[in-house]
Structure 1
Amino acid sequence: MSALAIINARILDPATNADFTGACLIENGLIVELNRGTGWSAPDGVEVIDAQGLCLAPGLIDIRVKTGEPGAEPKETLKSASLSAAAGGVTTIVIQPDTDPAIDDPAMIEFIQRRGAALGLVNVRAAGAATKGRDGQRMAEIGLMDEAGALYFTDGDKVIANSRTLQRVMSYAAAFNALIACRPADPWLSEGAVATSGELAARLGLSAAPAIAERIQLERDLALVEQTGARFLVDQISTEGALETLARARAKGLEVAASVSINHLCFNEIDIGDYRTFYRLDPPLRAESDRQALIEAVRDGLIDAITSAHAPAPAEDKRRPFAEATPGAIGLETLLPAALTLHHQDGLELLDILRPLTEGPATLLGLDAGRLAAGAPADLILFDPGAPVVVDAERLHSKSKNSPFDGRRLQGKVIRTFVGGRTVHEIG
């Protein structure tokens, strides 16, 4: 592989809080060196890309991506998801285990990774199911899946209601320091709910769950974390009360991380409007006070990972009465410009936004990516944080078009995406 130099770039590295104008030299898929200033000259024979002031940052790492492959390829394939990721500046995606069949054994982990590698686009990794068939009762072969390359273990959108089962999973995972992720949602308070409790849900006649359902389940999960010593990820935290519980657990020294979906940082319950099903999400959109608390948690570093929560659903699954519509939204291509609204509208620093999109998830999952440093993989993005973008769902690479950002005017455009020093996406 020939060497490559990117010059005259605004280099942003959340891992070191670096923000300077300079150049990056890449050889054999790895970063060789970073140089400050505009006077550096590339060695002879090196291909040079003049960034002309564009931002150069680590490629984004999305730890929560659903696809339809295997089992429901019309929704999304690994190829269409990888194309979407590359266009969105996401260089590593972690596939959720809720496929058909579920990703609950080493062979499925190896299938996902082998299929992703064959595509030659972005890094495709997998999360293994915590229980067999995601039934919440029988522990899956998490030790063997860990050896096969699973990055963490979760039942995805399904809550492990059986405390004994979750205790067994956590205890076993703690023996080899594996990460367990759970959705915090009391299954009885949340059963059948499609919205968050409040005046809006009552006026629309929607079945709703109180925000406290998230905190109640999180309190149980954290009690088991304290008892077992497991590493734990709070998957898609969405309420202010749960954030307070998380902060107390961190203060006690528990090894607990948290992710939040970009949708809950950008939208609130009002966006449901007149039963707009593209805003039918799980967890449901919350009150504006919850959204603001989540933004402050990103600013303060309480959130470790911002995810797209990419969940493709075809039109026939969305064009239904609100309560019957399939929850979820696509988000790989819109992740960066959506996250940059926190910079343009809420005043967060670029590094504070990029950290839970790059270094945060990389550290959580033990990946070498997510940073700009000599020896790190050359998984990079060049982007213009101020470039206007009008989202047109029909032009997105995903096979499904259920984007809540459709028609929105955002700022932030990915110009070029590199994986291992190779260009996998470029605006011409």
Structure 2
Amino acid sequence: MKIDLPASLSPRRKAHFSYPPSASPQSTAVPRWTLALAGVLVAAALAGCSKSEADPKAAPKAEPQVGVVTLQAQHQQLDVSLPGRTRAFLTAEVRPQVSGIIQKRLFTEGTQVKQGQQLYQIDAAPLKAAEASAAAAVAKAEASQRTQAATARRNAELVQIDAISKQAFDESQAAAAQAQSDVAVAKANLETARINLKYARIEAPIGGRIALSTVTSGALVTANQTNALTTIVQLDPIYVDFTQSSSDLMQLKRDLDSGRLQKVEGNKVPVRIVLDDGSEYPQQGRLEFAGVIVNDTTGTLTLRAQVPNPDGLLMPGMYVQAKLPTALAPDALLVPQQSVTRDLAGNPNVMVVKEGEVAEKRQVELDRAVGAFWLLKSGLKSGERVMVDGFQRIKPGDKVKAVEVDLKARAERKSVRGEPPVQAAADAPAAK
């Protein structure tokens, strides 16, 4: 066996690496430079094979699929959500009007009571005695009045014949008038005694739900005391007091004056109530009062709505959200909130599919939230396609495959699966 060695090797190295077939077994080891050279040749061969096997006409990468919705101009009613508290329609604190000992409590705490229903009974014995005394005083005054009246009539005849002096006549007339006044005073005292006796029966001044009693049988109460015996609240209907920022109100007036928004027609503005747990109250109320004085601390106006409460679900002091229509936006464009992203400066942006199925990033100006949508001020126009799915995987200028998404059907599927409902585009008023 003979190996051809490079000419650049010295004769000494050639003698070292060249050996005849009869060489000794100790000289048959493969040189390291030979192994390195073989590795380089194998790598080059493999690279050549991979190049030759690659198809220069391979199919291009598939265009990414994105979900889009097509914007349509529509008339949109604009609502405002304001925080508020429930207030009882009527509230009455029950207090005694006469002093005495409570003999009985005649109601069940926490139940409904009717107007005029007896609640407590005060010991009436002292009051009955006072009434009898007043009646006797009336009888005495009437008897004295009859005597004085008879004397005055006789003196009137005698003075005509100069049988008595003019002074005696005047005195008898004055005594008769005074006796008549004494009768009137006695009758008034009798009426007061009868009223006090009636007040021994403490009755409900209004109908409604009654609270806990602060006294029990045997308790001593005094007339017009500070502490109420109990409280009655009328809950059907019920008031909801809520506040609105004066700056928001001024902006609404400017939008109405400019024609950008239209005024909601109707004498009574409907009000919807959202409870603290996020559920909507089934009964719809109406706006009753709008304040005219701005709170100098909070800069807000107070508004009041009256809401039916036949089942007593709403109780005084509950925190609620009041939703009421403020205006109508003609030719409104609504974009799903899931399609809006913000850059590092906080500016809102959306990805749209323009002609040629090319993605484009567009900066928009938002007005307010309308359910699961944003009301647009500017940046888009009717008929443009906005990406709602898959836009995270692409960049502006990429070719895409746009697929129309039915947000209403998607929301219904989520509702069936028990996921939180999302207001779909079809939930908004239809395009006109």
TM-score of the aligned structures, taking structure 1 as reference length: 0.20
Per chain length, whose mean CA-contact separation is higher, i.e. which structure has more relative contact order (CA < 8 Å, sep 6+)? 2
- Which structure has the larger Rg over C-alpha atoms? 2
TM-score of the aligned structures, taking structure 2 as reference length: 0.20
Specify which structure has the higher proportion of strand. 2
